[in-house]
Amino acid sequence: MRFALDLIESFRMAIDAIRANKARGALTTLGIIIGIVAVVLTLTAANGLRDTFRQSFSAVGSDVIYVSQMPWIMMDDFFNYRNRPPIDLKQARELESKLQGRAIVNPYLGERRDAKYRSEIMEGVQIIGTTEKQLHMSSAVPATGRFLQPFDVTYKKQVCVIGSEIREALFGSANPLNQMVKLGRTEFRVIGVMEEQGGSFFGDGPNFDRQITIPISSFVKAYGGRHGRLNVDLAVKAPSSESMEMVEYMVIGEMRNIRKLRPTEDDDFAINKLDTLIDTFNNMMGVVLLVGLLVTSISLFVGGVGVMNIMFVSVTERTREIGLRKAVGARRSSILFQFLFESAFICLLGGLIGILLSAALTAVINATLMPASVSVLILVIAVVVSLTVGVVAGFVPAYRGARLDPIEALRYE
């Protein structure tokens, strides 16, 4: 009962104090507002990045190793990689036969071409030449029609499987199956449409919805002559995620053999894994969180100091009132609680303004940069953070007020 009454009295006091000093309160909360905006935006951005990342790579198997001339993420100078000999189809077949029964090897090639269906054109579409084994490499399956079959590859069939965005752009609501699309100068018959996979994480990175898959043999025939030597990428699927490490080890060994590297020479090919991307992503996330944390703590610190200052003023201004309250029976804890409440209340107001502001900014980010939304958890965190700042910043002033000697307080002018 006493505590409940303290609460009501504290609330009344806080409202009175804030109402009496609107401008001052508003200025003090500025730091808190900025701090809370920083908290909310950091967490929202981190969430958005993570979601986008997950979505983009949901189709990439975590048990697949990619062997390429270049690493996906270059740690070194680009030119050091460019001089490496490319991986050709012969090497691809060699690796496949060496790993026979131990892992599935699927070669693929990529080029960008304009895709055309009647009057509809989509420019610079990623064309992938690969085999039916692609189905083992990711969770993506056709939504309608079928995927490539061995005989499509063997007989260099002019057929293609399109991504969901391609279908929309070229065909709209029409049925694309068995329609002819022109990819560059060659016509292909649509035999399937892949399920929607979600957008791309990196602006220009793999986007399964915006790509067209054709048999690798047809790819070589249609586009192989143009740049001279082909540069094949190999996807190697381990039988299980546990055997990933062993398969990677085998792949490196076989590739070194196939490419006739001497023991002293470094690998002249790159092993790429989803793990590598996850590492990079985690680094990015780390930077976002670190910067966010820095901005957040600086502004909350500044805001907290401001609130502490205001609370000292508030306690001093009400010295006589504190004396009076003590004379009529307020305990130290009641006084302490009243000022802590006021401080927390000011910070909560700042926090709420901050949340509204962040919601508006998030809407802008959502419309421009990436999908982002403020989650309930983030709101709870923001509220808890602002209350905590209020309690921490208010403690010393409140404690000082609570410890005031009632007689001296009553005599204070």
Q: Which residues bind another protein (CB under 8 A)?
A: 1-2, 5-6, 8-9, 12, 16, 20, 320-321, 323-334, 406-407, 410
The 10 Å Cβ neighbour count of residue 66 is 21
Distance between CA atoms of residues 202 and 212, nearest Å: 19
Report the residue number, 197 or 334, with the smaller CB distance to another protein.
334
CB of 326 to another protein, least distance (A): 7
Report the residue number, 5 or 121, with the smaller CB distance to another protein.
5
Helix (H) or strand (E) holding 406: helix 406-411
CB of 307 to another protein, least distance (A): 21
Report the residue number, 167 or 325, with the smaller CB distance to another protein.
325
CB of 2 to another protein, least distance (A): 4
Residue with tokens 């998030």: 362
Report the residue number, 13 or 385, with the smaller CB distance to another protein.
13
Report the residue number, 6 or 209, with the smaller CB distance to another protein.
6
Report the residue number, 2 or 227, with the smaller CB distance to another protein.
2
CB of 337 to another protein, least distance (A): 12
Token pair, residue 148, equals 């490539």
Distance between CA atoms of residues 409 and 397, nearest Å: 15
State the DSSP code for 60: B
On whether the CB atoms of residues 91 and 274 are closer than 8 A, the answer is no
Q: Give CA separation, 112 vs 17, 87, 129, 209, in Å.
A: 67, 19, 11, 14
Q: Give CA separation, 334 vs 64, 124, 318, 346, 402, in Å.
A: 64, 71, 15, 18, 8
Residue with tokens 């303290």: 6
Report the residue number, 37 or 330, with the smaller CB distance to another protein.
330
CB of 395 to another protein, least distance (A): 19
Output the CA angle 354-359-365, nearest 5 degrees: 120
Distance between CA atoms of residues 35 and 301, nearest Å: 8
What residue type is 349 in one-letter code? L
Instruction: Point out which residues pair with 215 in neighbouring strands.
Output: 130
The 10 Å Cβ neighbour count of residue 122 is 20
Residue with tokens 């076989």: 254
Residue with tokens 């053999």: 257
CB of 338 to another protein, least distance (A): 11
Q: Is 48 left (phi over 0), alpha (psi -120 to 50) or beta?
A: alpha
Report the residue number, 15 or 377, with the smaller CB distance to another protein.
15
Distance between CA atoms of residues 138 and 213, nearest Å: 14
Report the residue number, 237 or 318, with the smaller CB distance to another protein.
318
What is the rounded end-to-end Cα distance, in angstroms, of the chain?
34
Report the residue number, 330 or 353, with the smaller CB distance to another protein.
330
Report the residue number, 141 or 407, with the smaller CB distance to another protein.
407
On whether the CB atoms of residues 181 and 160 are closer than 8 A, the answer is yes
CB of 346 to another protein, least distance (A): 17
CB of 316 to another protein, least distance (A): 16
What residue type is 228 in one-letter code? G
CB of 322 to another protein, least distance (A): 11
CB of 401 to another protein, least distance (A): 15
CB of 390 to another protein, least distance (A): 21
Cα 364 off chain centre by: 17
